[in-house]
Amino acid sequence: MYQIVGSFKSYLSVLGYSGGTQRSLPACIRDFLAYGQYSSVQAIGPADISMFYEWLHERPLKRGAGTLSEMMIGHYVYALKVFFNWQLESGCILINPLSGLKFTRPVIGYRVPLTLAEVQTLFDAAATLREHAMLHLFYSCGLRRSEAVRLRLSDVHFRGQLLYVRSGKGARRRVIPLPVRVAFSLEQYVLQERGRYWHSGPSFMLNNAGRAMCGDSYAKLLKSLLRKADMRMEISPHYLRHSIATHLLQGGMSMEYVRDFLGHKCLESTQIYARPGAHQIRQL
């Protein structure tokens, strides 16, 4: 039975899921199989999944005291949905055991976006072309961290003012139009700063050593920029993506356009950014 976990990981890889997802979802399925000791996938029914779901609420943490958070339990449910959808599509099972089951949606705390003034403060503090490029990728283009890591030189067309996300979340692709100033800023980074490392591979963004920027590199670069801007807050690159989504919606952009801009599969994911009114956004 555990061989199927490896096959599931390969399936996620083919679909273009991020490396983190390729590790976390199979780990959830491995826990599920270990809990039930099932003889085959075909032997798993709705009652088995319900029992596992109830057990997750009681299962102690592997490290430290306490039990799993609602978000983590929701992650297990998501893993089960992806896994059994794959089994159904592959013809390994005839009926999805999750059909008809309802789970409590985890309560997600709302992340307060940056204000327009705070975003401008970050851009004003950016002293290098790479810092400007980083802000544009996450704010102006609304990229996920994994999408920025995978971005290649060939994915950005300066004259055409287009940025191609070849493999977004769930292997979804999209094209992001670039305003003139954004296309110019990204091109200047490539020509002037990145140009010193032309033989360092296809990655769009490089670190000081000329190697491809990883997720942690982006986080450290943003943290350094926050210090220079004297902004005493702990934010990740995703905050910039969150902020542009909120600003577009507050500016009157349609929910459907923002959904396509962000690469969301459904409007429900985009609606998270539309919760606060303009008067609720934190001001300086």
User: Would you please indicate which residues are annotated as catalytic (active-site) residues?
Assistant: 144, 169, 238, 241, 264, 273
Contact (CB, 8 A) for 95 and 58: no
Instruction: Give the residue from 19, 2, 278, 283 showing the smallest Cα distance to 147.
Output: 19
Provide CB contacts within 8 A for 44, sequence distance 6+.
Answer: 36, 38, 97
Tell me phi and psi for residue 104, to 5 degrees: -70, 125
Token output for 228: 């220079």
b (16+ CB within 10 A) / e for 187-218: bbbbeebbeeeeeeeebbbbbeeeebbebebb
Provide CB contacts within 8 A for 81, sequence distance 6+.
Answer: 98
Question: Within 13 A of 18's CA, how many CA atoms are on the CB side?
Answer: 14
Contact (CB, 8 A) for 34 and 27: no
Rounded CA separation 262/132 (Å): 20
Secondary structure (3-state) at 251: coil
Instruction: Give the residue from 156, 150, 155, 201 showing the smallest Cα distance to 171.
Output: 150
Contact (CB, 8 A) for 57 and 67: yes
